[in-house]
Amino acid sequence: MATSSKVRVRFAPSPTGFLHIGGARTALFNWLYARHTGGSFVLRIEDTDPSRNTPQALEKLLEGLEWLGLDWDEGPRRDGSSVGDYGPYFQSQRYQLYQECLERLLSGGHAYEENGAIKFRMPRQPMIVEDRVCGRIFFEPQPDPDFVIRRQDGSFVFHLVNVVDDLLMDISHVIRGEDHLSNTPKHLALFAALGATPPVYAHLPLILNEDGSKMSKRDVGASLEYYIEEGYLPEALRNYLCLLGWSLGENREIFPIEEAIARFDLTRIHRANARLDRKKLYWMNGEYMRASSVEKLLPHASQWLEKRKLIGPQTDRHYLASVVSLIKDKVKTGNELCDWAIPFFVEDFPFDETAVKTILTPTGLEMLRRLLPELQRVGDFSSQALEAHFRSLATQWGTKLAALVHPVRVAVTGRSVGPSLFPMLEVLGRDRVTQRIRRALEQLSPA
């Protein structure tokens, strides 16, 4: 095994669309191992299929990795440049390197031409794969084991370019999905034919759907984009991905990324396939929302709210922070935060029909009429003072506090559920609250 100072791992996606959740987990585990060992995390782009690879898809891929917080030490940058001494980092720019290695294989008798294609001469004896996760695995030779490494049209096949890139980029550890395990004997044979020592292989367990079925690209939650669109926090998703095939080894599921870096090791990756439990991730994101400070959450909340066109550049930042502080402990995703925030930024909101029928009854509307002058003349419009005043009125009027609270909530938000009423009234302010109660009385009172 390479020493920690020489550890070089890579993530080599094909830019054909948004990052798959399995690819995100693979990138994370490579990144964790590089950071744990003080090694290098290399981003390499497998873009040899021009019909499927687009600049837009590459941009989405880079955005996704950056959103997850997985910074890479070598590879392409968003501005079109690259960093590192082992480039080019796009396979489409490395054709000559593949051709040179192909000629070495041909001259050494390890490859031959057949019907215009070039095939690799696979050894006829069993192959042994020493895998850091799967253990020692024996592969018996196939009846016709030789395989194409350059097609008739001159394009190179994945097996050759993958090995050449790992070789020339001095990759020490290949950490990838278990679906590539069956390719490893071919890759070991290619390394041997090129006279090179292969990297250490570690194949990660597959990520399955919650019911144990194989995950497809069309399944809900299969794409990183789904979690971004739903308003998940990157640190929450990153934490959850750590649990898909690895753990701290103790009964604790929420932990900072710094602890994962400090304790990550290939020997602790699980052998069994992982199952994507979106309910657990949903819960975990809520825990991160609650634990996050308003200051830390505000940039995320601003993006979510701007995307929903609920706020703009002119929105008062102090008011926005107050709204986020009021809501963040009650919701689990950014989309839910936006739903709860609507009454704080929209005046002409609709009234929920069920809430109107059950709460803004003639009795409820009469309560609003009695409360309106009280709210106009109360001196202190703070949460504590409002609650004290409401309790005093309930006692004076011989009714329960809920008989006052529920009609006001529906009048000022259109809904029967939401943030705690009195802090919400304070944030909205006296003028907006009384204006909304008048609106409710005008629109909902019988003609």
Structure-block tokens of residue 121: 């001469």
User: 351: pLDDT confidence band, cut at 50, 70 and 90?
Assistant: very high
Task: Supply the pLDDT for residue 215.
Answer: 86
DSSP class of 214: B
pLDDT band of 447, cuts 50, 70, 90:
low
Strand 274-275 and strand 207-208: pairing? Answer: parallel
- Does residue 200 sit in helix, strand or coil? strand
Q: Pick the catalytic residue: 214, 217, 296, 400?
A: 217
pLDDT tens profile 304-340 = 999 999 999 999 999 999 999 999 999 999 999 999 9
- Of the chain, the percentage scoring pLDDT greater than 70 comes to 99
Residue 168: which residues within 8 A CB-CB, separation 6 or more? 86, 97
List the structure tokens of 135: 């253990």
DSSP assignment of 50-78 equals: TTT--HHHHHHHHHHHHHHT---SBEE-T
Q: Which residues contact 234 (CB under 8 A, 6 or more apart)?
A: 67, 68, 69
Give the model's confidence band at 2: pLDDT under 50 very low, under 70 low, under 90 confident, else very high: very low
The residue among 407, 294, 427, 414 whose CA lies nearest residue 343 is 414
Task: Compute φ and ψ for 43, nearest 5 degrees.
Answer: -105, 120
Q: Which of 37-51, 94-108, 290-304, 367-381 has the lowest mean pLDDT?
A: 37-51
**What is the 8-class DSSP label of residue 181?**
G
CB 181 within 8 A of CB 131: yes
Q: In this predicted model, which residue has the larger pLDDT, 18 or 283?
A: 283
Q: Is the pLDDT of residue 374 over 70?
A: yes
Render pLDDT for 276-303 as a digit per residue (tens, 0 to 9). 999 999 999 999 999 999 999 999 999 9
Q: 398: alpha, beta or left, given left = phi > 0 and alpha = psi -120 to 50?
A: left
What's the pLDDT score for residue 251? 85
Model confidence at 18, pLDDT cuts 50, 70, 90, reads confident
Q: Strand 111-114 to strand 117-120: parallel, antiparallel, or no bridges (unpaired)?
A: antiparallel
Neighbours of 388 (CB within 10 A): 14
Other CB atoms within 10 Å distance of the CB of residue 194: 17
The pair of three-digit structure tokens given for residue 421, joined into one six-digit string: 């009423």
Phi, psi of 203 (to 5 degrees): -100, 125
Would you give the distance in Å from CA 205 to the centre of its chain?
A: 19
pLDDT at residue 272 is higher than 70? yes
In the chain the first and final C-alpha atoms are separated, in Å, by 83
DSSP 94-155: -HHHHHHHHHHHHHTTSEEEETTEEEE---SS-EEEEETTTEEEEEPPPSS--EEEE-TTSP
- Give binding residues for ATP as ranges: 217
Which residues are within 8 A (CB) of 313 and not within 5 positions of it... i.e. 6 or more apart? Answer: none
Q: Which two tokens stand for residue 70?
A: 């997985």
Give yes or no for residue 367 having a pLDDT over 70. Answer: yes
313 vs 218, which has greater pLDDT? 313
Annotated binding site: 217
Q: Identify any residues that bridge with 176 across adjacent strands, giving them in sequence order.
A: 203
The two three-digit tokens of residue 368, written as one number: 């609003």
What is the CA 272 to chain-centroid distance, rounded? 22
Q: Say whether 217 is catalytic.
A: yes
Q: Cβ contacts of residue 374 below 8 Å, gap of 6+? A: 389, 393
Asked if the model's pLDDT at residue 4 lies above 70, the reply is no
User: Does residue 71 have a pLDDT over 50?
Assistant: yes
Separation in Å, CA 61 to CA 9, 24, 47, 405: 18, 10, 12, 48
For residue 261 the two structure tokens come to: 């870096």
- DSSP code per residue over 406-421: HHHHHHHHSSS--S-H
- pLDDT for residue 56: 86
Q: 36-60 b/e with 16+ CB inside 10 Å = b?
A: bbebbbbbbbbbbeeeebeeebbeb
Residue type, 396: Q
pLDDT in tens, 119-172: 999 999 999 999 999 999 999 988 899 999 999 999 999 999 999 999 999 999
